[in-house]
Amino acid sequence: MACIEKIYSVSALVGNGTCNANCDFCAGKYLRPQAKENEIYYKNLESAIKLSARYGGWSLSFTSAGEPTCDTKALTKAFEVYDKCAKQGAYFPNVNLFTNGINFGNKEFCDTYLPRWKNLGLTNVAISIHGFDEKDQAKAYNVKSYPKLETIVQNIESNGVGVRGTLLLRKGVVDNAQKYELAVNNLIDKGITNITSWPIGNPDSTRNEFTPSRIGIFQIKNWLRKNTKLCHGHVWGGGVYDYHGNILRITDYVTKHNPKKDFVRQLVVFQDGTVAYSWIKEGALCMK
């Protein structure tokens, strides 16, 4: 058993679990029964933030069992918890909001909420992307239409918040080097120059029908090796690359906690108040 030397990040589920999309491969649906107002949740969120910061954490991410921006009240309260922690010294240089991006196509929504969330510490909005074409986005999210990515980028950046793209690697869509390169170049042209990718899978890190083949993932990693400059690697796998002045990052969807290692990739704050060392609760509890 190793002593923990580093807790790199915190990922927190926020909101009541409602969603404005209906993905066939949604990994959050099984968590939606837990998505209820819970004061213990906010207490443990504060504890997780402070614990990670004490052990050198550098990233805080807000996500949801649905779409976090569908519950702006709870999301704002979570930002307020972080703001309190930051003022007490538990500061993270990267505070990310993971979203399907649909609400950010609405300028009024952005102008209403982004200034407030930025003031409370938000640095980046991370948009989940299934293809550079808005029709592919609409199909993936099972909605009639999806906003133009250029519009989303403009609405966010005009409020002084950064934009990240989460280019999801999915079988039949972006699942090999050729499709990855095409998607990356098109997203960069649309103004998304910070792109993270991981293969879609199950929350327990196993593969499913939407996971790209191992050969396809290998081809993407080999393309990165040949066409980019490695900036730094992650101890849990993957790394960050410089691609003509743009940032490309590849990692795993989830990492099982290994008690023999001296680091924790992330603390995950579930909406029932549980804090675990990974997205797998069983056998990896931090606090409850």
H-run or E-run covering 218: helix 214-227
Residue 125: predicted pLDDT: 98
* pLDDT one-digit tens code per residue, 181-209: 999 999 999 999 999 999 988 776 778 88
Asked if 58 and 52 touch (Cβ cutoff 8 Å), the reply is no
Identity (one letter) of the amino acid at 93? P
Is 114 a residue whose pLDDT tops 80? yes
Domains of the chain plus CATH, in order, are 1-99+259-288 (no CATH), 125-200+206-251 (3.30.750)
Q: Give the HSE-up count for residue 146: Cα atoms under 13 Å, Cβ half-sphere.
A: 23
Which of 6-15, 100-109, 201-210 has maximum average pLDDT? Answer: 100-109
Is 126 a residue whose pLDDT tops 80? yes
Residue 208: predicted pLDDT: 83
Q: Write down the mean pLDDT value for the chain.
A: 91
Q: pTM of the full predicted structure? A: 0.93
Asked if 65 and 17 touch (Cβ cutoff 8 Å), the reply is yes
Is 65 a residue whose pLDDT tops 60? yes
Residue 73 CA, distance from chain mean position: 20
Asked if 33 and 64 touch (Cβ cutoff 8 Å), the reply is no
**What does the pLDDT average to over 122-135?**
93
